[in-house]
Amino acid sequence: MKIFVCPCKEKEKSMAALPSVTAALIENGLTPVFDESVSELYRDERAEYMSGDIIGGCDMLLTVGGDGMMLKWGRKAALAGKPLIGINTGRLGFMTSLDIDCLDKLSAIADGSCTFSTRMMLSAELSGKTSTALNDIVLFKDVNSKLPEFTVRINGTTVTKVRADGLIFSTPTGSTAYALSAGGPIIEPTVECILLTPLCAHTLLNRPMIFGAGDEVTVSYAAYEGSRVNMSIDGSRGTEFAAENMLVIRKSPYALRIAELGEKSFYTTVSEKLMTPLK
């Protein structure tokens, strides 16, 4: 079985973990595969180095880093129909499957005892282009822009109009990311729904809302004195969302399978990583 190992080349901790990760995979009869560009920084003769369609030639992807690496490679893994494993060398590592000191649990991949959780994703259609989000779709006004008034419709019916700095539409996986910081609820990641969390809404009554996974969400806004709005997918650089356009959000036809190799439950992870101070 070939495992495409995806380190963060810019992070020292990620690169420093590669010898241990490589050894653990080989010890369990798994073949580590790296992008050829990684060979400039790390080389192991027991591993394979490839270029081109590496994902298509491997059985699974394994990220070495933090949640950012899970987001970066998670969309690619989902589109290719390949499962993802995450080894945490970052600070929080909420989405990752294992901490770096638990590599012995990779044996579950080799013996077939590994289980997978399926994570719903969202599609965002804007100006004829469709993007896929694992965590969230964020609409936000420019720094010096006036507050726009957003209108959100569900299956054609208006459910809210609100003046706000922005809106966060997140998956259950993304409920513990930006949406949580904005006051949204924690949702168990295998639940299927769409969470809306306003950003700094100019009202006393606005609250987060949860929609069904089968709902079609449409978003437009009325510009006030030239309000400017951008859209970001999973923390990517914003793209312009013009006032004359309409954003359509649906459940994506793609889903990500994440390996569950740790012994901790989702709620244990929430308690340890979100309800206690970070080191």
Cβ contact 33:54 at 8 Å: yes
Distance CA 251, CA 232 (A): 17
End-to-end CA distance of the chain: 36
Q: What is the DSSP letter of 56?
A: G
Closest CA to 121 of 78, 175, 180: 78
Distance CA 118, CA 159 (A): 29
Q: What does the buried/exposed string (b/e) look like for 216-229 if buried means 16 or more CB atoms within 10 Å of the residue's CB? A: ebbbbbebeeebbb
67 given a catalytic annotation? yes
Q: Is the dihedral of CA 90, 93, 98, 99 positive or negative?
A: positive
Q: What's the rounded Cα separation, in Å, for the pair 84 and 278?
A: 25
Given a contact cutoff of 8 angstroms between Cβ atoms, the answer to whether 26 and 32 are in contact is: yes
Out of 35, 59, 67, 136, the active site residue is: 67
Q: Is the dihedral of CA 120, 53, 4, 9 positive or negative?
A: negative
DSSP state, residue 20: H
Alpha-carbon torsion angle 91, 95, 101, 102, nearest 10: 170
| Cα–Cα distance measured from residue 198 to residue 183, given in angstroms and rounded to the nearest whole number | 9
Q: Are 114 and 108 in contact (CB under 8 A)?
A: yes
Q: Which residues are catalytic?
A: 67
